[in-house]
Amino acid sequence: MKKLSTRFVRVMMYVFGFVNIIAAVIGCGYVLLKDEDEGNRTAAKRALILSAVFVGLDAVVDLYRAIVISLIGAGGAAVTVATVLSALILIARIAVFVVLAILAYTEYKPAAGGDAGGRDRRRAFVCRRGRNRLRRTSINEMMPLQRRARKS
């Protein structure tokens, strides 16, 4: 079997978590059992926990709606409150899973040559002015520049 990309697996965990709790349990459970990458396992755990939280919130709102309908009837402000709460939970669910999927997709992958010289694995880039133009310089390149500036 061909090994899937780490980014693809992490994004799919969040997609499974958004779609359905059953899809999340199956997809994330497979990753938790078979995958050895700790980042993928963390994404699977996070997707499972968030799916369970949103399912629990939906269950509480549905229970509230059922109690209100049985006591008051099908109309009224209480049912409207339950509908608004359901809509807010759906919006929050969409926002959380989309943001996590985007973050999982754009996460830094170290180069094949190893880590960044023992420093931070995520290379931050800063812009600095040089010769009337902006140039992107990594933090690792700036370290010698800062040392030269201190000496002079």
Chunked into runs of 10 residues, the chain (152 residues) has average pLDDT values of 76 91 92 88 92 95 88 78 92 94 78 49 48 53 57 58
| pLDDT given for residue 112 in this prediction | 57
| pLDDT given for residue 124 in this prediction | 47
| pLDDT given for residue 68 in this prediction | 85
| pLDDT given for residue 35 in this prediction | 86
Identity of residue 36: E
Query: Measuring CA to CA, which residue among 111, 136, 138, 110 is closest to residue 124?
Result: 138
CB 92 within 8 A of CB 58: no
| pLDDT given for residue 110 in this prediction | 55
SS3 string, the chain, reads CCCCCHHHHHHHHHHHHHHCHHHHHHHHHHHHHHCCCHHHHHHHHHHHHHHHHHHHHHHHHHHHHHHHHHHCCCCCHHHHHHHHHHHHHHHHHHHHHHHHHHHHHCCCCCCCCCCCCCCCCCCCEEEEEECCEEEEEEHHHHHHHHHHHHHC
pTM, two decimals, is: 0.65
| pLDDT given for residue 118 in this prediction | 45
| pLDDT given for residue 2 in this prediction | 55
| pLDDT given for residue 136 in this prediction | 54
